[in-house]
């Protein structure tokens, strides 16, 4: 089941990439395994999936040692400041850097612990009060400070589109993220190649709008039984 889902999603990714004039290999699939156990991750790995996404540090800390070390992990949720130290050695990319404060803490702790973390800046494009992330204005205002953090490898932007039944509703938010990325690149003379956008319901539209990373959970693993407090999508924040 999981294997078939992954195959089908890979085909859809290739199709959408082609529509945006790119190779399928230009889009990375993060299989979002939050709330699912090591069994499901192993099953996905049998289909050749090696990249997984988690939104809670505690859950990931328990899960990661239980699966093959060939698996690679991205942190996709809101990172609590008191979890940064634990998170640094576990993840190769942090999608949800959503404030200058978190970025500064990460810079300091990465310095102490000897890491050069790769990060994406989360933008709350639609301005939803339920979501984490920089507003586009705030990101512009703080970009200079963010770029001054020498340990952080800022590779691009990430967003979560508002929940909608029709994926076409997400298109303008993805286009806005891409346009913001383009503007920041020329204003600040930096490369921001990565656009992490698109989930189970709207990843094809996201790819058409330029996504380089899509984060797909339920379309691979099935709908989650447990709520996900780590993402800012729903529910209260993770307990300290
Ligand atoms: C849970 C989650 C996803 C995956 O959501 P699905 O709708 O299950 O594909 C993607 N991104 C983030 C940040 C998430 O928290």
Which residue pairs, CB below 8 angstroms and at least 24 apart, start in 86-90? 86/57, 86/61, 87/57, 87/60, 88/113, 88/115, 88/117, 89/113, 89/115, 90/57, 90/60, 90/61, 90/64
Nearest CA to ligand 1 atom 10: 215
pLDDT(226) > 80: no
CA of 187 to the centre of ligand 1 (A): 31
Cβ atoms of 45 and 19 closer than 8 Å: no
Please identify, by atom number, the ligand 1 atom nearest to the C-alpha of residue 34.
1
Ligand 1 site, residue 200, Cβ cutoff 6 A:
yes
pLDDT for residue 225:
76
Please identify, by atom number, the ligand 1 atom nearest to the C-alpha of residue 218.
8
Average pLDDT over residues 229-236: 50
CA of 189 to the centre of ligand 1 (A): 31
CA dist 134 and 92 (Å) reads 22
Pocket test for ligand 1, best of 217, 219, 230, 238 (most atoms within 8 A of CB): 217
Please identify, by atom number, the ligand 1 atom nearest to the C-alpha of residue 30.
10
Q: Which one-letter DSSP state was computed for residue 70?
A: T
Under 8 Å CB-to-CB from 146, ≥6 apart: which residues?
100, 103, 121, 152, 154
CA of 186 to the centre of ligand 1 (A): 30
> 2-6, 31-35, 165-169, 232-236 — which is least confidently predicted?
232-236
Nearest CA to ligand 1 atom 15: 231
Ligand 1 site, residue 218, Cβ cutoff 6 A:
yes
Please identify, by atom number, the ligand 1 atom nearest to the C-alpha of residue 32.
4
Q: Model's pTM, two decimal places? A: 0.94
The pLDDT tens digits for 75-131 are 999 999 999 999 999 999 999 999 999 999 999 999 999 999 999 999 999 999 999
Nearest CA to ligand 1 atom 6: 217
The pLDDT tens digits for 127-157 are 999 999 999 999 999 999 999 999 999 999 9
């Amino acid at each position: 089941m999981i294997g078939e889902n992954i195959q089908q999603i890979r085909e859809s990714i290739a199709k959408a990439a082609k529509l945006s004039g790119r190779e399928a290999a230009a889009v990375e699939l993060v299989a979002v395994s939050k709330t699912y156990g090591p069994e499901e991750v192993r099953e996905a790995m049998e289909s050749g999936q090696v990249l997984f996404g988690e939104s809670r540090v505690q859950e990931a800390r328990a899960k990661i040692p239980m699966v093959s070390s060939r698996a690679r992990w991205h942190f996709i949720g809101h990172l609590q400041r008191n979890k940064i130290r634990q998170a640094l050695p576990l993840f190769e990319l942090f999608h949800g850097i959503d404030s200058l404060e978190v970025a500064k803490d990460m810079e300091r702790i990465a310095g102490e612990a000897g890491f050069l973390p790769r990060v994406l800046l989360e933008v709350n494009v639609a301005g939803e009060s339920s979501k984490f992330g920089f507003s586009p204005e705030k990101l512009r205002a703080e970009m200079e400070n963010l770029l001054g953090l020498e340990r952080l490898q800022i590779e691009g932007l990430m967003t979560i589109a508002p929940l909608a039944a029709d994926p076409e509703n997400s298109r303008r938010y993805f286009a806005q993220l891409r346009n913001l990325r383009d503007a920041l690149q020329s204003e600040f003379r930096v490369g921001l190649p990565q656009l992490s956008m698109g989930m189970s319901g709207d990843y094809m539209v996201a790819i058409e709008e330029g996504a380089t990373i899509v984060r797909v959970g339920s379309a691979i693993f099935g709908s989650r039984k447990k709520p996900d407090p780590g993402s800012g999508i729903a529910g209260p924040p993770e307990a300290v």
